[in-house]
Amino acid sequence: MTRLRPSRRSRLPSAVAASRSLAAGILLWGAAATAQETAPPAVTNPLPTTTAPDPARSAPVPAPAPAQSVAPGLPTVPGLQTTPAGPARPPLVETPGEANDVDDVTLPAKPAAILAGTAKWEEAVPTLQAAFKRIEADLAKAGLPPAGRPIAVFAKTDDDGFQFEAMIPVTAIPDPAPAIGDGIRFGSTPSGRALRFNHKGSYEEIDGTYETLTAYLDAKDVVVQDRFIEEYVTDLTDKADDKLEVNIYALPR
């Protein structure tokens, strides 16, 4: 029985409105060639008029209609296009983890498309990215949308590299299972009791979380399986992306 020794990661390099007034004027009389027309002076006690008011001039100007917003489930404004939100891709355990904390959780077995491979540590991020992209492309061709976050199960590691299984959960596997890309098979994600360690920061800095994991296992005298799981809560885009969040799972024996 061996303990998880993740020191293998030491090779990784983290509408304003404005009011206006009209100036009053007087009608100038004289022999000038052009008479200037202005508004009559204000009258304190105007006389009653005997002329019927012109409806076109006296009718109030309607205020402009307020801008309409579009909310999900409500009719849209004609001519306005909206794009519905895509389906959610939840993690294996939907209760979020806290950085530098350990959670005792139970992983459900979810159907998944799986692709096995190997890589050098310095090529970990691009290799895993390519594996996930390939699986999702083949799932799209088969009409099977992803139903969970990408997962990498590290089955064997050494100082130079690692063997892995890249997994993309799906809602269900059709019977019979459709033919998908070469090397891709259907199976299920790891399940059962697990210790979750949440990593927030770049992939370059993930060694620190593994050191916390190892120290916890040693302090609690916990023996785990010879594999560990990384679940990418945010997209694995670049090894220096400091917005990355990863759930690391260790499976006790």
Please report which confidence band the pLDDT of residue 99 belongs to, taking 50, 70 and 90 as the band edges: confident
Report yes or no: 187 and 133 within 8 Å, Cβ to Cβ.
no
The least confident of 24-33, 121-130, 231-240 is 24-33
Q: Phi and psi at residue 150, in whole multiples of 5°? A: -60, 145
Q: What is the pLDDT of residue 97?
A: 83
C-beta neighbour count of 238 within 10 angstroms:
15
Q: How far apart are CA 168 and CA 146, in angstroms?
A: 6
Q: Dump pLDDT digits (tens) for 3-22.
A: 344 444 433 333 333 333 33
The Cα–Cα gap between 123 and 121 comes to 5
Predicted model pTM: 0.67
> Where in the chain are all domains bearing CATH 3.20.80.10?
1-7+99-109+191-253
CA separation for the pair 137, 184 (Å, rounded): 11
DSSP per-residue codes, 152-197: EEEEEE-SSEEEEEEEEEBS---SSPPP-STTEEEEE---EEEEEE
Domain 1-7+99-109+191-253: what homologous superfamily?
Regulatory factor, effector binding domain (3.20.80.10)
Q: What is the pLDDT of residues 58-92, one digit of tens each?
A: 445 455 444 443 333 333 333 333 333 344 799 99
